[in-house]
Amino acid sequence: MDSENKYTLVREIILDWYKENNRDFPWRTTKSLYQILITEILLQKTIALNVSNIYSDFFTKYDSFAKIYNTNTTFLQSDIKVLGLSNKRAKILKDLSKLVVEDYDGEIPQDPETLKKINGIADYVSNAFACFGLNHRTFFYDVNIKRFIQRVFLAQDGKIKSDIISTELAKLLPKIDFKYTYWAILDFGYKICSKNKPKCEFCPISDKCFYFFKIKTVIN
Ligand code: SF4
């Protein structure tokens, strides 16, 4: 298998797997840029299920940046307390709402560098918003995406430069509909290629995975 073929095959297999095994989160079907951006902030440093549990109530109560802007910070903290880091998260939401309401007339600035002026919004959130909301083919990763890329495509453990992961993502992502590949990686990482005890014996891409070859070699 040449290396270009490997990326295509892995992508096709995990996308097929995703069709049957995807996690049905509401932020994956909304067209609201507001909800997509706010959700990426809520998803930081918490599990997706926690965000899913408050999603409907949160966006019913806070249906616009203006609503967040006009809400007392203490009330906002209380409404997102279950996610953890509620002080920090509420500050990001308030700062972002202030920027959007006061400087952009309620519209989200679409330049990632403008969003990144908000303390707490970094590469992941701005690039995930650009991908999931604006359909831009951006490269970003959290610990789960990094772990998957490293195990499958890089025969290398431990620390790794961010541009190496981005280069691998550029080879793996299709030219269109790339958001499904990100969601497939995230769900595959959650259900199969987990941090502890990955389910290699049930894995549909084990014969293409560097990590699997390595553990097989150690066992044999
Ligand atoms: Fe992850 Fe194991 Fe599958 Fe490799 S073989 S992708 S480590 S679950």
- CA 11/CA 4 separation, integer angstroms: 11
Give the model's pLDDT for residue 98.
98
Banded pLDDT at 147 (limits 50, 70, 90): very high
Choosing from 196, 211, 215, 216 the residue with most ligand 1 atoms within 8 A of its CB, the one to mutate for a pocket test is 211
CA-nearest of 109, 104, 146, 106 to 124 is 146
Is pLDDT above 80 for 1?
no
Give the Cα separation of 186 and 43 in Å (integer): 13
Q: How far is the CA of 185 from the centre of ligand 1 (A)?
A: 12
Ligand 1 atom closest to the CA of 204, numbered from 1? 3
Please give the Cα distance from 38 to 61 (Å, whole number). Answer: 13
Percent of the chain at pLDDT above 90?
89
Render the burial of 13-23: b for 16+ CB within 10 Å, e for the rest: bbbebbeeebe
Mean pLDDT throughout 140-145? 94
Listing DSSP states for the chain in one string gives: --HHHHHHHHHHHHHHHHHHH----GGGT---HHHHHHHHHHHTTS-HHHHHHHHHHHHHH--SHHHHHTS-HHHHHHHTGGGS-HHHHHHHHHHHHHIIIIISTTPPP--HHHHTTSTT--HHHHHHHHHHTT--------HHHHHHHHHHH-S--S---HHHHHHHHHHHS-SS-HHHHHHHHHHHHHHTS-SSS--GGG-TTGGG-HHHHHHHHHH-
pTM, to two decimals: 0.94
* Euclidean distance between CA atoms 92 and 88, whole angstroms: 6
pLDDT number for residue 220: 61
Q: Could you tell me the distance, in angstroms and rounded to a whole number, from the CA of residue 139 to the centre of ligand 1?
A: 22
Of 17, 157, 187, 209, best ligand 1 pocket probe by most atoms within 8 Å of the beta carbon: 209
Ligand 1 centroid to residue 23 C-alpha, Å: 19
* Contact partners, residue 3, CB within 8 Å, separation at least 6: none
**Cα–Cα distance measured from residue 158 to residue 146, given in angstroms and rounded to the nearest whole number:** 11
- The confidence score (pLDDT) of residue 2 equals 67
Ligand 1: which residue has its CA nearest to atom 5? 206
Query: Is any ligand 1 atom within 6 A of the Cβ of residue 153?
Result: no
pLDDT digits (tens, 9 = 90+) for 188-202: 999 999 999 999 999
Mean pLDDT of 91-108: 97
Q: What is the spatial distance between Cα 143 and Cα 121, in angstroms, rounded to a whole number?
A: 17
Average pLDDT rounded to a whole number, residues 164-171: 96
